[in-house]
Structure 1
Amino acid sequence: MKSSIGLLLAGGLCVASVARHDRPLFRQVDHPGPVRAAALPEGPDSSRFTYTSLVSGLDEPMEMAILPNYDVVIAERKGAVRYFDNATRELSTIAQFNVFSGIEDGLLGVAIDPDFKNNNWIYFYYGVGGEKSVSHLARFELKGRKLVQESKKVLLEIPTQRKYCCHSAGYITFSDGLLYLSIGDNTNAEEIEGHTPIDERPGRELSDDQAATANSNDYRGKILRIKPEPDGTYSIPDGNLFPKDGSRGKPEIYVMGVRNPFRISVDPKTRYLYWGDVGPDTEVPGSEGKMSYDEINQARKPGFFGYPYFLGDNEVFPDYDFATKKEGPGKDPQRPINDSPHNTGIRELPPAQPAFIWYGKGPSRKYPLVGKGGASAMAGPVYYSDLYPDAPYKLPEYYNGKLFIFEWIRKWIMAVTMDANGNYVRMEPFLPQLKVVAPIDMQIAPDGAIYLLAYGTNWFARNTDSGIIRVEYAEGNRNPVAVVSSGKTIGAAPFTATLSAKGSRDYDAGDKLIYEWKIGAKKLAGEEIRHTFTKPGIYNVVLTVSDQNGGKGTATTEFKIGNTPPDVTIGTKANRTFYWDNAPFDYRIKVTDKEDGKIERAKIHASFNYLTFGKDLAGALSGSEGENIRYAATAKLYASLDCKACHTVETKSIGPALKEISRRYRGNAVAADMLARKIIAGGSGNWGSYPMPPHADLPEKSAKEIAEYILSLGESAGDIPLATQMKLTEHIGKGNEGAYVLLASYTDKGANGIGPLKTASHIVLRNPLIQMEDYQEGNVGVVVATQNTGFVSYIANITNGKYTRFNQIDLSHIKNIRFRIQEHGAGGTIELRQDSREGTLLGQVVIPGGRLEDLKTGWKEVLLPVSGTGGVHDLYLVFKNEQIKGPMFHIDWMYFENDLTP
């Protein structure tokens, strides 16, 4: 399955990686992205582009609206409306919509009226909070920074379903006074059995896209086109797909037969509509692997674009019968018939129109530059030079008439060249040196600058590497790029901050930079400054970097003064990296907080669990609330369902709080089975008269996992002590992939106008057997396991000076590292060093040379004695034999032996 914002693009309910607090919105590289094909012409000098991060740290930004004064309004999925003041460089929250934010829904779209300068109208598209499953397209007045709530006019109410994930789309754009709104198919994409969702069984209409995107009487899986009227209503423009009287379908429909039309744009001259359509995950064979294509589409006129019957160049899906599990002949693209019993619209659909560009997960023969892997195709604007006659940052003539497309997952932007009739000619990388973190929106401002909205690394999260990037092209003097670096940005008053602009740069040789800092009403000068915040509050620090020719660049960072984050530490005398059979493990959890003073034991959340997966725990650690690490993946499943519309964790909503449910059934041995049945069957009476909807299609196993997750929420933190000693035995007999996780967290009370802050600390203990090919950095070769290698993978091509690095390993109580080696080559020395290739030598072992015939003797084990002390460090294995240039030996794995090993 794929989702609208790439949130589930890799398929299934994935766990994201931990966001680093110093990760930038973009990274400029010298040898960028997709390889330029030899036949492509050389574009403009990429060094003429400059990039500025205007805003960072947004919470799931979805779309932006650039105002005439270059202020920017940003829609965040969980309902916040954010406002970036271009003059002061300050970011504020001007409204908070009550939204339903489950199954990828929420506040999804924002756009200003074409006559905004005179009428101040701004439009939003969002899932309405509450029990009614609808989304609204609404208009408000925006006066300065105030969103006037009393001015609200609901133009459209879109019925949806909130039982199954996914595909909400929700992008708004204008062309010639007409509003275009993209809406996803909102259909169950979880149980498609390798096909498209066309489940015609009774009661399965929510799993049948023939009831949505292929249904002319439904708004979902469509792109609508309407003309907003001054009184807050709308009219139907000429030229939509169906008659204005609604006799054949919804008259607002311009395009149908789309799955998730996530980002759309209209060519300002040809009026062609473009959109990226995030494709399905199927097992159906296609012209380029499996028919799991993402598409860029071009609509020269209204029409039907194939889904769920066709994909790509009108390739045909089989007609799969979900009852008999058999495939039948697919539809005819020239005369597709929607004969589903769930269809409420016309039976004979318009001829299917093929995609403009399409590609799957593997390498594309037709469009080789798109790369491979996960995908989420999006359409940006079509650029025309003459529409920006006096714009200081207009793109060069080279890009005239080109369509920009971009990728959320693959992080590229392409410029697509078309002929005079709008036919595809070629594509080429645009700004390949700019690696944007999950680009989700792209617009061109009136001054010719390109604005890119970055969603950021983690899914469903506030990301430090989310924000707005402004891209400028200049033939003459280029603006400097301002970059602010600082240490901590949160703390108690008085708080002294050290701020540096040393990362700022200017692309014009010989320019001299001047640095000015603005903190409230105070102005400071210098490349580096120190400033003490004496009073609590939220402060925007604005850096302006100027050159002698009038060029300027700015950057903003925020300080929250008045509340110190809690300090949570976990002490242990044991090893902090590995576990061994029956090894003792002790720990001591200590929490301090400057403002809270005495710490309430009940507010310290602590858990100790053995998890059967251990190699990639980052997402589980980032997504957990401390006490529920065991249920991290289940919590993600729960969040994808409609349960959040009626339940919150802490407080009563339409239904009871999850923690209240947990407390009621605590100690009840059959509660998990009972709740699982209730989740599937639905019902009412136990907590009031409001009925809980059934989830008849939820597998019993998933319902049981959700029930156990809910029951776990009421477990008190006192279930495990803050200090104890134990023997590690739970892993025994369960393989090598598991890990023990000790996690402690504390959320303070907030202080001095700054909200509560949470700090978490953890220890992860993994198996002491490490496969050598799992190194984090190195320059050796890896031999993949095959029948010829005895199904063993190992590192090879080990010559003098090569190395491997393994991150964050504790050598406390380690006496030896046991290596499994093959004496093939000249032999040499394995050196164990700390923190760098030239770091402290902690031990070494000499491996004898071997001849080719020695390979028949197989693998041997050798010991490297370790003299290092405790503490977590990066470890380097450096391979030495200065006498020869050839290969030395092979290594399969290494095992860390503790001082209890016999």
Structure 2
Amino acid sequence: MFRSTFGLLVAAGLCVASVGRYDRPLFREVVGNPDGGGAVRAGGAVQLEGPDSSRFTYTKLVSGLDEPMGMAILPNFDVVVAERKGAVRYFNNATKEVSTIAQFNVFSGIEDGLLGVAADPDFKNNNWIYFYYGVGGEKSVSHLARFELKGQKLNQQSKKVLLEVPTQRQYCCHSAGHITFSDGLLYLSIGDNTNAEEIEGHTPIDERPGRELSDDQAATANSNDYRGKILRIKPEADGTYSIPDGNLFPKDGSQGKPEIYAMGVRNPFRISVDPKTKFLYWGDVGPDTEVPGSEGKMSYDEINQARKPGFFGYPYFLGDNEVFPDYDFATKKEGPGKDPQKPVNDSPHNTGIRDLPPAQPAFIWYGKGPSKKYPLVGKGGASAMAGPVYYSDLYPNAPYKLPEYYNGKLFIFEWIRKWIMAVTMDANGDYVAMEPFLPQLKVVAPIDMQIARDGAIYLLAYGTNWFARNTDSGIIRVEYTEGNRNPIAAVSTGKTIGAAPFKATLSAKGSKDYDAADKLTYEWKIGTKKLAGEEITHTFTKPGTYNVVLTVSDQHGGKGTATTEFKIGNTPPDVKIETTANRSFYWDNAPFNYTIKVTDKEDGKIQRSRIHAGFTYLAFGKDLAGALSGGEGENIRYAATAKLYASLDCKACHTMETKSIGPALKEISKKYASDTGAERMLARKIITGGSGNWGSYPMPPHADLPEKDAREIAGYILSLSKTTGPTPLSAQLKLTEHIGKGTEGAYVLQASYTDNGANGIGPQKTASHIVLRNPLIQMEDYQEGNVGVVIATQHTGYVSYIANITNGKYTRFNQIDLSHIKNIRLRIQEHGAGGTIELRQGSRDGQLLGKTEVPGGRLEDLKTGWKEILLPVNGGAGVHDLFLVFKNEKFKSPMFHIDWMYFESDFNP
């Protein structure tokens, strides 16, 4: 559960996505390094100005991957993707199509599976590609294997196993498995593969007999074990490998595995090698301990930098070599920790050397709470990753290479927190500062980041939910352009789902080019058919799924593309809620009638059991309409709370139906269904975090979440196992539940229907709703306007209102039904020149529905003088945007103040 760092920046007035530059003085202060430097300074020298965000364009090449773990960009810009469950996916850059070219037999339990992929540096000549995966079957091993890939065909017979890594499959977790190359040398990261579930608030150093699978001293701190290491080898042409000079241990294996370059790592999920300095970087996903440290509990994630081979501390040290106590799992007592300069692995499970190399501190580290040292990283759950180090001169003729501003910067990224940072270093490689990179892009769980030879950045998004095929997963290509900027393609269309024949109108009018003088041309590709023009029509005559690709070009050769998917063969259901009552407001004891009607072209006869309907009163629901885009009818009591829940980082670990990294929400609800104290207990758990109830995976704390919100979320979760009788599809109701409960509440009626699917197109869902709110609306709650707002203070008598109302100004209130409305009662202060209030429909110049005059006046005490006046309403039935327009053409000075407006009904109780 995590609130976005960038949201906090925007709240502070630092909307970096819109300003496009990172050289604002206040921004420098925020991103400045912990030693007092700034994001645009290194060693006292002012660096180049950051690039304008309009020079970056983004294209999503692929969507809907099933747990993508890594990618390999081929010389022709085709992309090979490894999916954890064993599929090898191939994106053809020429056709823009995706296919499955292989399915490995993998063991995919406890985070294992097909984990890594990399093309040989000489792929153009030898067609070799490497994979790292847990081998399916009874034998607990993982393979680093080489295959031949030609013409989108992976030759399984060409398999050469370079390395077999023994593993254990009894306990979870940490597999890592990333592959990268530098100077012909292959680097492979391997997780500690140690029991992370029974650590009793410490690191796994359980030395009791038979507990070697729970002792990281048998793995990551063991020089004779591949686990918890980063290996460096030189692949040979015959499918074997040799040991390069400069690894951590001698080539003869006398002190440890000669392949080891870095040891003492936990879950080195993504690694990269600086192409110039040859420094090795990796993100290490940290443990979840209860040990106090300098940044809260010692549960830090790390970005590490290895300038030479070495031992990087785990499980004895973390962060800046902060020391874990020695914990005896037999006696449950703590003792003094190890010496970082002379660490000793004296575990009886250790089969390697006893005296380890000095521990190397992390390059960057941060915990679950706010970081004092690196404030931009945010807080909450974490999963640190390391990307490439960029050098402009390595891409001399690349059309999309990044500007000099990023020269020598390291890119790091966060899977859970969903950010990318550019890290500035000095000439020695020491940390100077970090700053957000492409915050406007908002990649959902970035899991790989690479730079192609044309300078474009490729990002692989894992997607929202763990262990799932996510619609928001995929490959994103980011292009930066100097000089002429690429057009940004945008497709607008109406419905994209329906029965055949289906006539579609597509427009490219939303496309733009930041070089205003450029002339744009438009090409549409639908299968093999090509069409030209800013707007086209096309009829799909047969059922199927079709991708329509728009390419927008300028006269200088700049191009931008956008893709829209059409699903032809199944018309979405039509769900209507009919009523003769007002659709916006409730009044005391007012009648409310409704009828829900559902039709579906392909289903024909509608099954009542497939219609979900619900009617409820929410005590705090006045702003609920936006929260209803996807709730089910019978469980709308907590629809707003569900939206609050979705805004946090809970979805990273919890899904509705199935176990992810944490238990399913419905599973939690069932467990505590009969516990009367469950709501309070769960609310505290949400705020404070913790582990142990459902396994060892900890839930991060949310200390800033108000207890009221935490109680609402807990109540929402507990409601998921409750069942109620079906809401009738037609009823005549009397609205009374709100009486005596203030003005914040709302009645909500919702109906939805999911059809059966047809003609190869899956089921489609349609939902409709009506939200009835209190007829008194505070004027400062307008959706759009250009008036001023005075905040409630002692000076105003604790009343908020709108002010600075001069001729021609307005306020807009969205989607209000004036059916059965005879007057609008306004509470005003005659403080100013006076003037006319007009009620208009649809726009500031729309149909005039009524007006009223406010006389001028002056008040010495703004706590007094409030009056109510009537604005008669004539017509306007139906739901429309309403505008209050203020006029006084004689005076330019402010006219009056308005506190609220109340919609009076023609209902007579």
Contact residue 303 and residue 362 of structure 2 kept, 8 A: no
Aligned-pair Cα RMSD in Å: 6.4
Which aligned pairs between 1:277-356 and structure 2 lie closer than 5 A?
Answer: 297-301=304-308, 351=359, 353-356=361-364
Instruction: Name the structure 1 match of 2:762.
Output: 755
Structure 2 residue 54 is the aligned partner of structure 1 residue 53 = no
2-side partners of 1:646 and 1:242: how far apart? 42
Q: Deviations over 1:17-41 (max 9, x none)?
A: xxxxxxxxx9985655773658754
Change (3 A) 1:426 1:645: closer
**Aligned-partner Cα distance in 1 for 2:769–2:108:** 30
Matched, 1:709 2:728: no
After superposition, the Cα gap between the structure-2 partners of 1:639 and 1:276, relative to the gap in structure 1 and judged at 3 Å, is closer
Is the contact between residue 539 and residue 558 of structure 1 (CA under 8 Å) also seen in structure 2?
yes
Q: How far is the alpha carbon of 1:624 from its aligned partner?
A: 3.8
Instruction: State the Cα deviation string for residues 207-228 of structure 1 (Å, max 9, x = none).
Output: xxx9889994699996744659
- The alpha-carbon distance between structure 1 residues 846 and 89, as it changes in their structure 2 partners (threshold 3 A), is same
Farther-moved stretch of structure 1 (379-388 vs 176-185): 176-185
Residue 544 (structure 2) aligned to one of 504, 518, 537? 537
**Residue 727 (structure 1) aligned to one of 731, 734, 737:** 734
Kindly provide the amino acid, as one letter, of the partner of residue 748 in structure 1.
D
Q: Which residues of 2 match residues 659-670 of structure 1 at below 5 A?
A: none
- Partners of 1:549 and 1:581 in 2: how far apart? 66
Local SS of the residue matching 2:720: helix
1:85 aligned residue: 92
Q: Structure 1 residues 696, 269: CA separation in 2 closer, same or farther (over 3 Å shift)?
A: closer
Residues 126, 34 of structure 1: alpha-carbon distance in 2 compared, 3 angstrom cutoff: farther
- The match for 2:577 among 570, 573, 597 is 570
The structure with the larger Rg is: 2
Separation in structure 1 between the aligned mates of residue 598 and residue 273 of structure 2, nearest angstrom: 55
Identify the residue that residue 519 of structure 1 maps to in structure 2. 526
* Residues in 2 aligned to 1:285 and 1:402: alpha-carbon distance in whole angstroms: 32
**Do structure 1's residue 35 and structure 2's residue 41 form an aligned pair?**
no
Structure 1: which amino acid aligns with 2:720? Y
Q: How does 1:53-132 map to 2 (within 5 A)?
A: 53-55=59-61, 57-58=63-64, 63-74=70-81, 83-92=90-99, 111-112=118-119, 114=121, 116=123, 118=126, 120-121=128-129, 123=131
Amino acid at match of 1:470: V
Secondary structure of the residue that 1:855 maps to in structure 2?
Answer: coil
Q: Is the 8 A contact 2:656 2:666 kept in 1?
A: no
Residue 593 of structure 1: how far off its partner (Å): 1.9
Q: Is the 8 A contact 1:272 1:299 kept in 2?
A: yes
Q: Any conservation in 2 of the 1:184–1:262 contact (CA below 8 Å)?
A: no
Residue 861 of structure 2 aligns to a residue whose secondary structure is helix
Identity %: 66
Equivalent residues of 1:546, 1:552 under 8 A apart: yes
Change (3 A) 1:419 1:55: same
Residue in structure 1 matched with residue 456 of structure 2 by the alignment:
449
User: Residue 806 of structure 1 is aligned with which of 810, 813, 816?
Assistant: 813
CA offsets 1:605-661 (integer angstroms, 9 cap, x no match): 3333444553665786455455544577789879945996689xxxxxxx99999x9
Q: Contact 2:21/2:52 (CA < 8 Å) preserved in 1?
A: no
* Post-superposition offset of 1:70: 0.9
Aligned 8 A contact 1:213 1:221 in 2: no
Conserved? CA contact 1:335–1:350, under 8 Å: yes
Shift in Å at residue 589 of structure 1?
1.9
Contact 1:614 1:739 in 2 (8 A): yes
Q: Following TM superposition, by how much is the alpha carbon of 1:471 offset from its aligned partner in structure 2, in angstroms?
A: 0.2
Q: If the length of structure 2 is used for normalisation, what is the TM-score? A: 0.69
The aligned counterpart of 2:686 is none
**Pairing of 1:506-655 with structure 2 (within 5 A):** 512-547=519-554, 552-611=559-618, 614=621, 621-622=628-629, 624-630=631-637, 640=653
Q: Distance in 1 between matches of 2:193 and 2:848?
A: 60
Q: Is the partner of 2:582 in helix, strand or coil? A: coil
- Which shifted more, 852-861 or 288-297? 288-297
Report if the CA contact (8 A) 1:103-1:639 is conserved: no
Whether 1:870 and 2:859 are equivalent positions in the alignment is no
| In structure 2, distance between residues paired with 1:100 and 1:630 | 42
> Distance between the aligned counterparts of 1:788 and 1:319, measured in 2?
61
- The residue number in structure 1 matching 2:276 is 269
Distance 2:110 2:869 in 1: 53
Label 1:51 to 1:817 Cα distance change in 2 as closer, same or farther (>3 A).
same
Q: Which amino acid aligns with 2:565?
A: E
TM-aligned CA distance change 1:550 to 1:341, over 3 Å:
same
Secondary structure of the 2:131 match is strand
Q: Is the 8 A contact 2:234 2:242 kept in 1?
A: yes
1:680-695 map, 5 Å: 695=694
The alpha-carbon distance between structure 1 residues 291 and 510, as it changes in their structure 2 partners (threshold 3 A), is same
Partner Cα separation in structure 2 for residue 724 and residue 838 of structure 1: 39
From the superposition, tell whether residues 444 and 569 of structure 1 become closer, same or farther in structure 2 (CA, over 3 Å). same
Give the secondary structure class of the aligned counterpart of 1:602: helix
Per-residue CA distance 1:447-475 (angstroms, 9 max, x = gap): 22223456789998956797523304356
1:350-369 alignment runs, 5 A limit? 351=359, 353-356=361-364
Report the alpha carbon displacement of residue 543 of structure 1 after superposing the two structures with TM: 3.3
Using a 3 Å threshold, how does the CA distance of structure 1 residues 45 and 493 change in structure 2: closer, same or farther?
same
Q: Unaligned stretches of 5+ in structure 2? A: 9-14, 29-39, 207-213, 328-333, 682-691, 700-710
Long gaps (5+) in structure 1: 12-25, 203-209, 321-326, 648-654, 681-692
1:114-152 per-position Cα deviation (integer Å, ceiling 9, x unaligned)? 565535535377999x99999999988766556778999
Alignment correspondent of 1:20:
none
- On the 8 A contact 1:121/1:142 being kept in 2, the answer is yes
SS of structure 2 residue aligned to 1:719: coil
Matched, 1:673 2:681: no
* CA 465–420 in structure 1, closer or farther in 2 if over 3 Å, else same: same
Aligned equivalents of 2:445, 2:418: Cα separation in 1: 7
The alpha-carbon distance between structure 1 residues 419 and 593, as it changes in their structure 2 partners (threshold 3 A), is same
Indicate the residue corresponding to 2:688 in structure 1. none
Corresponding position of 1:471: 479
Instruction: Give the AA of the match of 1:726.
Output: L
Are 1:567 and 1:759, in contact at CA under 8 Å, matched by a contact in 2? Answer: yes
Deviates more, 1:890-899 or 1:267-276: 890-899
Give me the whole-angstrom Cα distance separating, in 1, the residues matched to 2:55 and 2:574.
43
Q: How much does 1:787 deviate? A: 6.9
Is the 1:610–1:740 Cα contact (8 Å) retained in structure 2?
Answer: yes
Cα separation, partners in 2 of 1:591 and 1:339, compared to 1, 3 Å: farther
CA distance, structure 1, for counterparts of residue 406 and residue 572 of structure 2: 49
How has the CA–CA distance of structure 1 residues 423 and 874 changed in structure 2, closer, same or farther, with 3 Å as cutoff? same
Query: What's the offset of the Cα at 1:443?
Result: 1.9
Q: Secondary structure at the match of 1:750?
A: coil
* TM-score, normalised with respect to structure 1: 0.70
Distance (Å, rounded) in 2 between the aligned partners of 1:641 and 1:340: 36
For each residue in 1:871-897, what CA deviation from the matched residue of structure 2 results, as whole angstroms up to 9, or x when unmatched?
222333444555555555555554444
SS at match of 2:609: helix
Letter in 1 for 2:129: W
Distance 1:771 1:536 in 2: 50
Q: CA deviation at 1:588?
A: 1.9
1:318–1:330: 8 Å Cα contact kept in structure 2?
yes
Quote the Cα distance in structure 2 between the aligned partners of 1:881 and 1:106: 72
Report 1:806-845 matches (<5 A): 806-819=813-826, 830-844=837-851
Which position in structure 1 is the counterpart of 2:750?
743
- Distance of aligned partners of 1:215 and 1:618 in 2 relative to their CA distance in 1, 3 Å threshold: farther
Q: What is the CA–CA distance in structure 2 between the aligned matches of 1:825 and 1:319, rounded to whole Å?
A: 74
Match of 2:704 in 1: none
Residue-pair matches, total: 830
